[in-house]
């Protein structure tokens, strides 16, 4: 069997984390089995669908590396790939069922249906449509149709048990008596969701449908439509829902749920894909940091859990940090461009070699791309000498003599690592202070901190002029403090 799977997002919102994980599992399954990953857009909700959402979904999947084999922009033999362009196909299949007497018009108005529902609830029963128009007089039906009486079309559902073997959950059974004759189309043979999905999957030759567990209730209805159309249903698999930390369904009230929001916050596409794969799937040998190609090689549905997976932002941040540290300085430099641009920092203010050295200085401490600005802020602006950490360092008896000695050393020495190392060794030997008493005031004066990136490398990147100016400002601050 040729594996053909699909992801079918609705452009009624931006690309959601949950949709992305479903797309990822489909992608991994397809690539693992040498199959095709299909993208189609379910844009029949005209009131809520927007082109901006479509663009966001398509660009988001592309950014994550989840490139589809067929779909918008990658035309294949099974298009169109937008449901809004497939109306004629749906009507053809609906007409087939109508001609075969497998669907029928139902003229019940909303008030009648609500009365049926209320009566069922009053008697403690699950509501199922009564089937009032199932075997209605053909002449009466035709008369109502000719009069353009509002109606829907319902499928004649046989009394039986629908059984399917879920790839993740095992055997699942449904009694069709709890379903009843379901509506498959509106007046004018406009299909509803379940019918359109089935026709799409038939005509696109979808072999496996992998989706969230919230679609389990749709599966027996869709199987009944497949059977009515004389088609073989695909193989189904339903993954567990993605949960918030309180184990409720993940939603906007728990924070960002759109992929674009995480990318804007400084998460890497590789890290986001890596982390989403870990939600509900156990990698072999406990390995957690995996590239997309490595995920493909390791993925199997047998390792997908039936239990809901909690979306943990702190774990995502950790995964992102691991990926940031994997990047070469050159790659990280390219990815930082938007961050620097947003911060108003001109990249032509220094040579590229300077930038690459500055990245190497703080890369190990970064978990998000904007962390560069937090860790390396002292390279772009003089420190706040009124900060509490600076005050503690400047309160040491060693502060004034150490800063004065370093100021003298830096004025004439060659601006290179070996010369700076020699200057520091001389400072340690000539000053009667402990290492902390020497290093704290220097770091505080130059960076506004008492801990952080390699101090000597920081000095070289700051440059002679900036270092001398900051040391002098620190000495002035010390003198003013002493005078008061």
Residues annotated as catalytic (active site), given as ranges: 252
Q: How many of the other CB atoms lie within 10 Å of CB of 386?
A: 9
Start-to-end CA distance of the chain, whole Å, equals 85
Cα(115)–Cα(304) distance, integer angstroms: 43
The answer to whether 445 and 403 are in contact (CB under 8 A) is yes
Cα(272)–Cα(20) distance, integer angstroms: 10
**Nearest by Cα to 334 from 268, 288, 271:** 268
Cα(128)–Cα(157) distance, integer angstroms: 12
Strands (E), 80-169: 103-106, 152-155, 161-166
Q: Sort residue 188 into left (φ over 0), alpha (ψ -120 to 50) or beta.
A: left
Strands 36-39 and 235-239: unpaired
Cα(434)–Cα(313) distance, integer angstroms: 41
At residue 5, the 3 state secondary structure works out as strand
CA 121 to chain centre: 41
Strands 242-243 and 309-310: parallel
The answer to whether 84 and 44 are in contact (CB under 8 A) is yes
At residue 428, φ and ψ (nearest 5 deg) are: -65, -40
User: How many distinct helices (H) and strands (E) make up the chain?
Assistant: 20, 12
Residue 395: strand pairing partners:
none
Helix (H) / strand (E) element for 452: namely none
Q: How many of the other CB atoms lie within 10 Å of CB of 421?
A: 11
Identify the DSSP state of 10.
Answer: -
Handedness of CA 47, 52, 53, 54 (dihedral sign): positive
Handedness of CA 383, 389, 393, 395 (dihedral sign): positive
At residue 183, φ and ψ (nearest 5 deg) are: -75, 130
């Amino acid at each position: 069997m040729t594996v053909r799977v699909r992801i079918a997002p609705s452009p009624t919102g931006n690309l959601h984390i949950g949709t992305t994980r479903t797309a990822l599992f489909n992608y991994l399954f397809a690539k693992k089995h040498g199959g095709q990953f299909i993208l189609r857009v379910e844009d029949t909700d005209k009131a809520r669908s927007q082109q901006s959402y479509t663009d966001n979904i398509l660009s988001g999947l592309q950014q994550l590396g989840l490139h589809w084999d067929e779909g918008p922009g990658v035309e294949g033999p099974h298009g169109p790939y937008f449901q809004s362009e497939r109306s004629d196909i749906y009507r053809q299949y609906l007409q087939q069922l109508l001609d075969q007497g497998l669907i029928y018009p139902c003229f019940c108005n909303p008030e009648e249906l609500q009365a049926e529902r209320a009566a069922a609830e009053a008697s403690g029963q699950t509501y199922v449509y009564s089937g009032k128009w199932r075997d209605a007089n053909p002449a009466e039906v035709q008369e109502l149709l000719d009069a353009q009486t509002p109606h829907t079309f319902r499928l004649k559902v046989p009394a039986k048990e629908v059984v399917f073997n879920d790839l993740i959950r095992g055997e699942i059974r449904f009694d069709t008596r709890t379903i009843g004759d379901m509506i498959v189309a509106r007046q004018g043979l406009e299909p509803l969701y379940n019918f359109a999905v089935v026709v799409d999957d038939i005509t696109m030759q979808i072999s496996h449908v992998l989706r969230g567990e919230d679609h389990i209730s749709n599966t027996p209805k869709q199987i009944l439509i497949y059977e009515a159309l004389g088609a073989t249903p695909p193989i189904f698999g339903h993954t567990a829902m993605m949960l918030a930390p309180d184990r409720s369904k993940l939603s906007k009230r728990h924070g960002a749920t759109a992929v674009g929001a995480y990318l804007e916050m400084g998460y890497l596409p590789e890290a986001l894909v890596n982390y989403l794969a870990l939600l509900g799937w156990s990698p072999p040998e406990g390995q957690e940091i995996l590239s997309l190609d490595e995920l493909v090689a390791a993925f199997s549905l047998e390792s997908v859990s039936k239990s809901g997976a909690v979306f943990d932002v702190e774990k995502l941040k950790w995964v992102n940090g691991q990926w940031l540290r994997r990047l070469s300085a050159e790659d990280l430099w390219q990815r930082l461009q938007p961050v620097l641009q947003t911060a108003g920092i001109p990249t032509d203010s220094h040579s590229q070699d300077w930038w690459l050295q500055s990245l190497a200085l703080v890369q190990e401490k970064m978990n998000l791309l904007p962390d560069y600005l937090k860790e390396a802020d002292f390279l772009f602006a003089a420190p706040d000498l009124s900060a509490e950490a600076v005050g503690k360092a400047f309160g040491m008896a060693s502060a004034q003599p150490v800063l004065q000695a370093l100021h003298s050393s830096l004025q004439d020495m060659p601006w290179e690592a070996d010369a700076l190392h020699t200057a520091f060794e001389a400072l340690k030997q000539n000053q009667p202070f402990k290492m902390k008493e020497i290093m704290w005031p220097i770091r505080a004066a130059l960076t506004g901190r008492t801990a952080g990136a390699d101090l000597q490398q920081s000095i070289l990147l700051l440059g002679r002029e900036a270092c001398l100016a900051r040391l002098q400002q620190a000495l002035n601050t010390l003198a003013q403090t002493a005078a008061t």
